[in-house]
Amino acid sequence: MKLSGKRVMVVGLGRSGVAAARLLAARGAQPVLVERNLAVDRAKLPPAQVHVGADDPAWLAGVDLIVTSPGVPRDATLLSEAVARRIPVIAEVELAAQFLSAPIAAITGTNGKSTVRALLAGMLKAAGMSVFVGGSLGAPLIDAVDRVLDALVVEVSSFQLEWIEHFRPKVGDSS
């Protein structure tokens, strides 16, 4: 995925949104960061245009791509308007997957995701593998980018799966 020079909006500046913003800046994108919560810790953010408060569709001007955080509802104003304007919207896991080469095991479902994730990661580590463990709880998948790993074991929420196109785990489990 070529990001250099693109204006990429990150909606939601929780753990995964901040990590996505850092990756985008490191890859030469021009981040536009959006957070509804007025208490944004700007010290954690890369240099970027930052919008705080109620969504304003005017912020979409010139945006090439939107990366959404897991907690942002699908019908949020900016996401709905982006879809109407045909601006691509992807999840943080979709962005991360573009830069990962190790096999991904994704755990989804209603119950038992964290337990299955912990058990699988424990087995792979016991086999001597270098494993990233994270996802919707814990470290965001994007934190694994540029690390040398044998496998990634991630818990993926239904919210994250709403905005994927190319994210294809090697193994998937719906507990």
Residue 175 has pLDDT above 60, yes or no: no
Mean pLDDT of 19-42: 91
The pTM (predicted TM-score) of the whole model is: 0.90
**What's the confidence (pLDDT) of residue 174?**
56
Per-residue confidence at 172, pLDDT binned at 50, 70, 90?
Answer: low
Q: Evaluate whether 35 touches 49 at the Cβ level (below 8 Å).
A: no
Mean pLDDT of 102-131: 92
The CB density around residue 115, as the number of other CB atoms within 10 Å, is: 12
* 56-82 CB burial, b ≥16 within 10 A, e <16: eeebbeebebbbbbbebeeebebbebb
User: Is the Cα dihedral 129, 130, 136, 137 positive or negative?
Assistant: positive
Amino acid at 121: A
